């Protein structure tokens, strides 16, 4: 079965927590298997960390056993804010942290991935809790994908190289891989 995923609070995350909880419950009631929530970056920038963490926790509670991925829009954040978000996501019980909605540029970057994976590793070593990593946006080649694969492998280890803990957000990857194998542009979709 292919998982059904929807985004809550897209694209800016400015909906109230109550609206996001309602959207989450409604999406799951209508067949969603996974929820991608967009954080309220204004709250993060205002250092309203308890509010950000509480919102993630409430959405995870609304998700129940379903997967919750938290989109943090890394291009708008400092390295310190990226690290803080990894901490909040881990403590709040979310399953993944995701770099971007793909609406802002640059979306995923190796530099952001490195900072985030290092923070994920540190929180795992402190808490024993594994949180997945999902780079999203701007992954435009097999080489790009291999860069993120290598960062995850080197920082988090091979146990993270499963779809339960590492996913690439690129709808064109099958086409990229097939084209590289065939040696000419080949459309998968």
Smallest Cα–Cα separation from 112: which of 71, 83, 149? 83
What is the tens place of the pLDDT at every residue in 107-127? 889 999 999 999 999 999 999
* Residue numbers in the chain where pLDDT is lower than 70: 170-174, 188-189
Q: Which residues are tagged catalytic?
A: 36, 98, 134
| Coil/strand/helix, residue 19 | helix
């Amino acid at each position: 079965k292919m998982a059904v995923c929807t985004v809550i609070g897209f694209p800016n995350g400015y909906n109230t927590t109550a609206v996001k909880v309602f959207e989450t419950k409604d999406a799951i009631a209508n067949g969603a298997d996974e929820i991608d929530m967009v954080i309220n970056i204004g709250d993060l920038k205002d250092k309203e960390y308890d509010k950000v963490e509480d919102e993630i926790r409430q959405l995870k509670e609304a998700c129940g056993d379903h997967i919750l991925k938290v989109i943090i829009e890394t291009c708008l954040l400092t390295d310190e804010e990226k690290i803080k978000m990894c901490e909040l996501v881990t403590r709040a019980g979310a399953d993944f942290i995701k770099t971007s909605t793909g609406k802002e540029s640059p979306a995923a970057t190796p530099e952001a991935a490195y900072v985030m994976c290092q923070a994920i590793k540190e929180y795992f070593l402190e808490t024993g809790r594994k949180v997945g990593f999902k780079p999203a946006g701007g992954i435009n080649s097999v080489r790009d994908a291999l860069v993120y694969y290598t960062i995850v492998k080197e920082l988090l280890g091979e146990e993270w190289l499963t779809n339960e803990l590492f996913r690439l957000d690129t709808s064109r990857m099958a086409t990229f891989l097939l084209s590289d194998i065939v040696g000419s542009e080949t459309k998968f979709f």
